[in-house]
Structure formats: C-alpha cells, structure tokens
C-alpha cells in the first residue's frame, strides 16, 4: 500500500525537475561552514582530551574516559556548529516550502545576517538542545565506534593501512546513521519551524519534547528514522574521506613533530 510519503529518488527527481541539477547543492555554503566549525571543533577537542587522559603505561583508555572525551567534544561541536546547522537545514528545506514561505538565503553569510537581523541573536541558538544531543550521539557513534573497530582489526594482525581505515569508517557510518537518526529528525523539525502569521497559529517557540511526543503520537516510532537512506548516503562517504585524511594528517604530524 502507498503511504504517500516521498522516497529519496522521488525527491531527487522533483528537485532536479524544478531547479535543475544545481538544486541538489542548495545549502552547500552552509554545509561547508558547518564542517569548518562543527567537525573541526569535535576532532580538536576529542583528540586533545584523549591526549590528556592517555595512560603513561600505554594501556588503552577506559570506556568512561572515552565517554568523557565524547561528551566534551560533542558539546563543543554542538555549540560552535549550531548556527551553521540551522542554516544548513533551512537552506536545504527551502525548496519544499511554498514560495511565500521561503527564506531565500543567498549563502551562509547572508543567511546569518538575515537571521540575526529579523529574528535576533537568540535565533542562533534555535534547536540547540537537539543539536547538543545529536552532536554527542554523533561523536560517540562515529569516533568511538571507529576507534574500537580499528583497534580490533589491528589486534587481529591487520596492518594500519588505508584498508583498515576504510573498513572502520564504513562500519562507523552504519552505526552513526542509525544512532543519530531520531535526533536528526527532531532537530530538523525544530529548526524548520515557522510562525504561521496569517493563520494566527504561533509556532515560533518550539518545545523539543512536545515535538518528539507529537511525532511519536501522530506518525509512530518509524518516523524517527525517516530519511535513513539519504542520511547514510551522505554520511558514509563523508566519514570515509574524513577519517582517511585524518589518519594521514595525524601520521604526518607525529612523524615530523614527535
């Protein structure tokens, strides 16, 4: 039976037919800004905290110590990257809205300017709660699962090579997409919220738990995993590329400065 819900390929065809191939890159500037803030902050804090917690006898960090590194890096990344996250969600969602309700941000910088000018400085903190939850879940599911899987492969005799990094990051993408999907759905719903001025319905102040309960009550548990396939298609290549480059840079750094 048809559920009337758009599938990923249907959505892609609709975007291309309406705005052309370049429509698939709506929000690219916001996505790049997000990676330059959110991802960089997470990697920097995670590695710094792990280095501070490193045991003098060379034994691996305990689970509790990894959790501390995860929490600190996730919170930092969530706070630093939240404005870009809002822009990313809004710019990608714009084409799905009626023309009268579109924000029409030209790029990330223009979007930041318009947000602060029309909604106030507090608009940069919209959806911060779900962003922090999502950032912490993402850091735990991506970094910890990657570290654990990589360590297990190395203990089994595999050489520390690109193949190991690829396999560990590929598997980490599966874990991260599944773990983060509910938080992604909730975060997107909160950040896309718009004041319906003409109807008198005010949705400007969105309560996270009310939104979560509404999704569960009206759409069921499966609604929290909407968009899993496009999320994985986006996240998996990103993680593979990111971790492979990260490992190359890390080895180069230690080779020259340690």
| pLDDT, one tens digit for every residue, the chain (258 residues) | 444 455 666 767 776 776 667 666 667 888 889 888 998 899 999 989 998 999 888 788 887 888 889 889 999 999 999 999 888 888 877 777 777 788 888 889 999 999 999 999 998 998 888 788 888 888 888 998 898 899 899 999 999 999 999 999 999 999 999 998 888 888 777 766 654 333 344 444 557 788 888 888 888 888 899 889 888 888 899 899 999 998 998 888 776 766
User: How many of the other CB atoms lie within 10 Å of CB of 158?
Assistant: 14
The pLDDT, as a whole number, for residue 94 is 78
Q: How far apart are CA 30 and CA 107, in angstroms?
A: 7
Q: How far apart are CA 110 and CA 104, in angstroms?
A: 10
């Amino acid at each position: 039976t048809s559920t009337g819900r758009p599938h990923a390929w249907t959505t892609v065809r609709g975007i291309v037919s309406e705005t052309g191939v370049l429509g698939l890159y709506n929000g690219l500037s916001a996505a790049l800004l997000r990676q330059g803030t959110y991802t960089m902050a997470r990697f920097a804090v995670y590695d710094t905290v792990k280095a501070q917690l490193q045991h003098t006898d060379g034994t691996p960090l305990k689970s509790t110590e990894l959790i501390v590194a995860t929490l600190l890096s996730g919170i930092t990344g969530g706070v630093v990257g939240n404005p870009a996250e809002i822009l990313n969600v809004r710019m990608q969602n714009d084409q799905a809205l009626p023309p009268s309700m579109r924000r029409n941000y030209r790029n990330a910088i223009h979007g930041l300017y318009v947000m602060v000018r029309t909604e106030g400085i507090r608009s940069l903190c919209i959806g911060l709660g779900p962003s922090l939850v999502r950032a912490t879940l993402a850091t735990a599911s991506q970094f910890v699962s990657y570290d654990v899987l990589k360590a297990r492969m190395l203990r089994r005799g595999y050489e520390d090579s690109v193949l190991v990094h690829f396999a560990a990051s590929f598997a980490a993408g599966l874990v991260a997409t599944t773990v983060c999907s509910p938080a992604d759905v909730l975060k997107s719903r909160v950040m896309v919220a718009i004041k319906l001025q003409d109807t008198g319905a005010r949705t400007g102040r969105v309560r996270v738990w009310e939104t979560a309960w509404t999704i569960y009550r009206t759409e069921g548990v499966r609604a929290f995993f909407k968009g899993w396939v496009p999320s994985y298609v986006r996240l998996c290549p990103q993680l593979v590329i990111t971790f492979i480059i990260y490992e190359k840079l890390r080895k180069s750094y230690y080779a020259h400065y340690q």
